Structure 1
Amino acid sequence: MTTVYDFTVKKTDGSEQSLKDYEGKPLLIVNTASKCGLTDQFKELQEIYEKYKDKEFVILGFPCGQFNNQEFDNIEETTEFCQLNYGVTFPMYGKIDVNGKNEDPLFSYLKSAKGGLLSKDIKWNFTKFLIDKNGQVVERYAPTTKPSKIEKDITKQL
């Protein structure tokens, strides 16, 4: 059976990281964008990360510019923006595509595990996937679902 731990992702420096490094930890995987109307969600994501990181909970951010090109071209600008404006300390990864022929394999898996309301495609920035300690997708949340609204689901996975 496939789990998120079977995937390797690109870090911001271009090197690869196996998600096996997070084995046994609940995760929230989010496609992010720095210049989006929903960008203020970084604040709540960081607050939740701070609150539960000592309980092995991790948020993984994946910048994406597929929706109105609302992400910086340069990943250094993205990480600097997130750190300076929202104090982001949870792991951020290299810029990816979440839909289409160049979509990241991790997001292909996430979408196949939990489709959206009308289709499997990701509709916008800040779509969130909650992953249990076994690497299985528990839930998918719409871009407009504020992180604070899913905190109770996160605590069930701790």
Structure 2
Amino acid sequence: MKRFLRINTLVVAGLISQLSFAQGESGQCPDIFQHKMKQLHSSKILDLCEVSAGKPVLLVNTASHCGFTDQFGDLEAIHQKYKDQGLVVIGVSSDSFDQEDKDEGKAAEICFKNFGVSFTMLSTVPVRGDQAHPLFQEVARQDVAPKWNFYKYLIDRDGNIVDSNSSFTLPDDDDIEALLAAES
């Protein structure tokens, strides 16, 4: 009986440890990430608290038929450069500007096959106006709603948007490194 209790205590302690990791050092997942969203071209539902895991995030609204679609390559380069330092890149497919493929499989092929995206990509949701997904309602409350595809938001581990970039610009290394330095 003692052995059984000891093993169960270890299992519970491990689960608590994993939960604390997913929620960050403060022990609580920021409101901005308290959403479950479908992974692009998958039936898998992702918990954004687990995806962000208490780390800084680069959040981007994307569309597969936008003139800025080449930025998938730039975003993948940022992901590769900074993932080991703790930056989490999350792309969110959106048709709010009528430039996302209606076929989710084709949209996924564009980002995954054509651009080699390995960062988290989420299924198509609205990012503007009254119909905006709650994630982007919070983005608009804290900063500005995307005015077009490929708006980029740097979010600290506490869920605060610390910088944003329009479709025309990428976050620069100095801004990303400052965010990562503030997080360590």
TM-score with structure 1 setting the length: 0.86
The alpha carbon displacement at 1:150 in A equals 2.3
Q: Which runs of 5+ in 1 are unaligned?
A: 116-120
Counterpart amino acid of residue 10 in structure 1: K
Identity %: 36
Q: Which residue does 1:51 correspond to in 2?
A: 81
From 62, 83, 86, the equivalent of 2:115 is 86
Cα shift at 1:15? 4.0
Report the alpha carbon displacement of residue 2 of structure 1 after superposing the two structures with TM.
5.4
Higher Cα radius of gyration: 2
Q: Which residue of 66, 69, 75 maps to 1:39?
A: 69
1:33 shift after superposition? 0.9
Q: Distance in 1 between matches of 2:82 and 2:135?
A: 24
The letter for the 1-side match of 2:80 is E
What CA distance in whole angstroms lies between the structure 1 residues aligned with 2:155 and 2:110?
A: 26
Question: In 2, Cα distance between the equivalents of 1:60 and 1:2?
Answer: 16
| Superposed counterparts of 1:1-158, under 5 Å | 3-12=31-40, 13-21=42-50, 22-67=52-97, 69-115=98-144, 121-145=145-169, 147=170, 149-158=171-180
1:23–1:134 contact (8 Å) kept in structure 2:
no
Q: What amino acid is aligned across from residue 44 of structure 1 in structure 2? A: D
Greater fraction of residues in helix:
2
**Distance change >3 Å, CA 45–CA 34, structure 1 → 2:** same
Q: Write the letter of the residue equivalent to 2:38.
A: K
Following the alignment from structure 2 to structure 1, what is the Cα–Cα distance between the partners of residues 30 and 78? Answer: 27
Matched residue pairs, number? Answer: 150
**What residue in structure 2 maps to residue 118 of structure 1?**
none
Q: Secondary structure at the match of 1:39?
A: coil
Q: Give unpaired runs (5+ residues) of structure 2.
A: 1-28
Question: 1 or 2 for the larger relative contact order (CA 8 Å, sep ≥6)?
Answer: 1
4+ residue runs over 4 A deviation: none
- TM-score, normalised by the number of residues in structure 2: 0.75
